[in-house]
Amino acid sequence: MSTLAQLLGATILPAGIAAALYAGTAATVALTAVWARSPQRRRDARETLKVLLRRDPGSR
């Protein structure tokens, strides 16, 4: 097996785990932004989503 193939094999699993954790965190915060009882908690969750899902200003 080539060095490149070994390197890719060693990085795919951690990258997948990181992506799944990020998606889970964003989904949890989004649900909190919708279903939290406190208006302050909903506002805080929306602000956190803005940070997690930030986009470039020119991408719109």
Q: What is the pLDDT of residue 26?
A: 93
In a domain, residue 11? The reply is: no
In a domain, residue 51? The reply is: yes
In 3D space, the residue among 25, 26, 23, 46 whose CA is nearest the CA of residue 34 turns out to be 46
In a domain, residue 41? The reply is: yes
Grade residue 58 by pLDDT with cuts at 50, 70 and 90.
Answer: low
Polymer length in residues for the chain? 60
> Considering its fold, how many domains does the chain have in total?
1
Report the sign of the C-alpha dihedral through residues 8, 14, 47, 28, in that order: positive
Domain that holds residue 59: 22-60
In a domain, residue 10? The reply is: no
Report the C-alpha dihedral over residues 16, 32, 49, 28, rounded to 10 degrees: 0
pTM of the entire predicted model: 0.71
Residue 24 tokens read as 């889970």
What are the tens digits of pLDDT across the range 24-57? 999 999 999 899 899 999 999 999 889 888 877 7
Q: What is the CA radius of gyration of the chain?
A: 17
**Mean model confidence pLDDT for the chain:** 88
